[in-house]
A = this chain, B = another copy of it.
Amino acid sequence: LSLTIQWLHEADIVVLGSPKPEEIPLSWIQPGTTVLNCSHDFLSGKLGCGSLGVHFNGLIAEDDVSLLAAALRIQNMVSSGRRWLREQQHTRWRLHCLKLQPLSPVPSDLEISRAQTPKAVEVLAKEIGLLADEIEIYGKSKAKVRLSLLERLKDQADGKYVLVAGITPTPLGEGKSTVTVGLVQALTAHLNINSFACLRQPSQGPTFGVKGGAAGGGYAQVIPMEEFNLHLTGDIHAITAANNLLAAAIDTRILHENTQTDKKLGINKTDPNALTEEEIGKFARLNIDPSTITWQRVLDTNDRFLRKITIGQAPTEKGYSRQAQFDIAVASEIMAVLALTDSLVDMKERLGRMVVASDKNGQPVTAEDLGVTGALTVLMKDAIKPNLMQTLEGTPVFVHAGPFANIAHGNSSVLADKIALKLVGEEGFVVTEAGFGADIGMEKFFNIKCRASGLVPNAVVLVATVRALKMHGGGPGVSLLLPSSKHTFLKISLSLKTSLNEYRCKTTNVFITRTDTRAEIDLVCELAKRAGAFDAVPCYHWSIGGKGSVELARAVRDAANKGSRFRFLYDVQLPIVEKIRTIAQAVYGARDIELSPEAQSKIDRYTQQGFGNLPICMAKTHLSLSHQPDKKGVPRDFILPISDVRASIGAGFIYPLVGTMSTMPGLPTRPCFYDIDLDTETEQVKGLF
C-alpha cells in the first residue's frame, strides 16, 4: 500500500483497508483526520460506500485487486468524500447580480419585468449553494426546493431575520412587498451581503379583478412577474383540490350514512365490541350534524355569486340539500397549515387534525375521522416545497404560501424562512413581510408564526407613506391629501411607538417617496426617531432599484446587529378571553372587549374540546386600529365587539371575528381582465398591472 501511504498525510479522510488495515501505522495520519475502515470487498468493487452518500466508478475488476489499483480507488474515494463533505456545508455565495438601467418616468411593472432577462433558475440555485438534487425545476425561472436541505444544513447557524410590516394603511396599500424586494436588492446587489426575500404567493382570483400585483413594483420586483402572479408552480391549485376533496367527502359521507344500511357501509356485525379497528376507523357512522359544518368549498376565482349557495338539489342527492358557500382558495385552512408547518410529518398531522364539523353529540369531527388525511397529504406533497424565483437584480426570493390576512395570519411560510436562513449563512439576511398593518400582520407574525417556528426576529422595518400618515392624521380619504402639520405626524408616530414597544424589537421606519416632498420626509423621519424608532430613512427602490434603498439596508444591518429583545405578547395557556383582551388593549388600544352570546358559547365549546391553549388570530379590519374602518389615527377608549369565534385546529389558532369578514371577493364593474391579453406571436402577456 505504499502509494496510498504517501498520500495519507494530506487527506481529510482516510480509508483504511485492503487487505490488512492494521498494517498502516496510524501515527502517519494527521490528528483530526476522519478515519474510515474499509474492507477488501469494498476495494474490489463489491460494496458501495453508502455511508458517505457518494458513489464512484470502480477502476478495477473483482479479480485484479493490485496495490496500485487499490490505491487509485482509495484516492477516488477520498476525493468523492471531500466533495461530499464540502457539499454538506454552507458555501459562500458567488452571486452574479443583474444590472438595472432604470428609466424615468418609471414604466409599468410588466414592462420593467419584461425588460429584464432572469437568470436560468438552475444557475441561481447553484450560486446560492443548492445542490442539483435539492431543486426541482419548473420552466425556465421557477424551481421548488426540497426540504432535505434542512437536514443537510442543520448545523449551519441561521442568518438575521427581518420583518417588513406597515403602519395602518390606506385602502391602496403602502408597498410592503416593494420595500421587501428593494431591501434585498440593496443588501445583496449593492452591499454584497447575502440576503433572501420570502414573500407570499398571491391569490390568482383578484389578479383578474382589480389591478395591483403582489410581486413588488417599479424597479423592486420579483420576475417574471406574470409567472409570480399566475399559477406559479400550482400550490394554490393543490390547496383547492385538497380542500374540495375534503368538502365532497363530508357531504357524501352524510348522504351515504343517511341512505344506506350498515351492511352497505361495510359493517355486518351487531356487537360494537366485535368491530376491528379498521372497521371503526373507516366504516363507523360519524353522525355529522350538517348544521355544524364549518368546512367550506374554495375556488381561486373572484366569484361573488358563490358567497351563499344551496347545494345538493339534484334528485340524486335525495333531498339532502343545505346552505353552503365558496371561499377564495387562500382562505382555506389548508393554506394556513401550509404556511405554518415545518415538515412533511407535521403537515400530515395538521391536515388530519383539521376540524370540519361536530357530530350529533357535539364532538369535533376531523379530516382524519373522514379517512382523508393521506389523500390530502398526497395532493399537497409538492406544494410543501418553497418556490425559488429572483428579483429584478438577480437576488434570490422564496414565494411560498399566502394565507388570507382576513381570517388567517397573512404571513408567508415558516419553511421558506427556515430554508432561507440556512442558505444566507450566519452573516446574511432573510427579509419577510406581514400582511395588512402592524396591528394585524406583525402581531400575528410574532405571536402565531414565530411561536410555531421558534424563530426570533432581529429587526422590524415599518413601512409608512406620508399619504397614509396624512390620512390617519385627519385627512378625509386617501384620494385627497390635506396639508400636514407637526401635530398630525406626531400623533401617528406615537401610535407606532405604542404598538412597537410591546415587542421590544429594534425598529426601522421607512418612508416611500412616490408622492412626498423632501420637507415632509425629513419631518417624518425626525418625528419617528423621536418616537422611538431605531432609525428612519427614506428610500427610492421603486424608481431606481436596490441602489435607492442602500441607506435602508445599512440601517437594517445596524439594527439587526444590536441584538433582539423579542418576547411574546401573551402566554397561550391563558384563557381565550384573556388572550383576546390582551391583544385588543395592548395592540389596538381598546378599553375592553365585548363578547356576543354566540362568541361566548363558542369559546366555552372550544375550551371544553381542549382547544383553549391555541394562539389567537384576530379577524379585524386593517383600515383602522379599531373595528371601525373610518376611525383613522389612534382611536382610544373604544370597546372591541367580538361577534363570533371560530377555530382552525389544524393550522393551530382560534380566530375571533370582529364584525363580518368577506372570504370571497367579487369582480368590479370593469374588471381588469378586459386589459389582459396574450400576444400570440411573442407569447408575451400584456396588460397585467
Contacts and interface: CB of A to CB of B under 8 A. Distances in A.
B283 A670 contact: yes
A671 to B, nearest CB: 7
Contacts of A300: 241
Interface stretch (A28-36, A49-57, A60-68, A369-377): A369-377
A644 to B, nearest CB: 17
B375 A245 contact: no
Interface stretch (A174-182, A414-422, A439-447, A675-683): A675-683
B136 A139 contact: yes
Interface in A654-673: 666-667, 669-671, 673
Given A139-B136, A241-B204, A375-B676, A314 B303 contact: no
A251 interface: yes
B301 A244 contact: yes
A260 interface: yes
Contacts of A301: 241, 244-245, 247-248
Secondary structure call for the A interface = mixed
A252 B667 contact: yes
A241 B240 CA distance: 11
A140 to B, nearest CB: 6
B244 A375 contact: no
Given A238-B231, A301-B241, A301-B248, A676 B374 contact: yes
B299 A316 contact: no
Contacts of A283: 670
Interface stretch (A304-312, A480-488, A571-579): A304-312
Contact of A374 (B313, B314, B673): B673
Interface stretch (A101-109, A378-386, A430-438): A378-386
B308 A304 contact: no
B302 A307 contact: no
Nearest to A373: B677
A47 interface: no
A245 B372 contact: no
Contact of A306 (B308, B311, B382): B311
Contacts of A244: 299, 301, 303
A249 interface: yes
Interface in A217-275: 226, 230-231, 233-234, 237-238, 240-241, 244-245, 247-249, 251-252, 255-256, 260, 264-266
A598 interface: no
Contacts of A238: 231
Contacts of A373: 677
A400 to B, nearest CB: 17
A678 B377 contact: yes
Nearest to A687: B374
Given A237-B234, A264-B669, A312 B316 contact: no
A606 interface: no
Nearest to A299: B244
Given A208-B245, A234-B231, A680 B374 contact: no
Given A237-B231, A304-B252, A308-B314, A377 B677 contact: yes
A686 interface: yes
Contacts of A280: none
Interface string A294-330: 0001011111111111111110110010010100000
24 contacts: A137-B139, A231-B379, A247-B303, A248-B302, A248-B305, A249-B671, A249-B673, A251-B304, A255-B304, A255-B305, A256-B669, A282-B674, A297-B299, A299-B299, A304-B314, A308-B317, A309-B310, A313-B323, A344-B680, A345-B680, A373-B677, A374-B673, A378-B677, A378-B678
Closest 5 CB pairs of A and B: A374-B677, A237-B237, A307-B314, A375-B673, A308-B314
Interface of A: 136-140, 144, 204, 208, 226, 230-231, 233-234, 237-238, 240-241, 244-245, 247-249, 251-252, 255-256, 260, 264-266, 282-283, 297, 299-314, 316-317, 320, 323, 325, 343-345, 348, 371-375, 377-379, 381-382, 666-667, 669-671, 673-678, 680, 683, 685-688
Given A248-B301, A266-B669, A282-B670, 8 more contacts: A138-B139, A230-B378, A237-B237, A241-B301, A248-B304, A265-B669, A374-B686, A377-B678
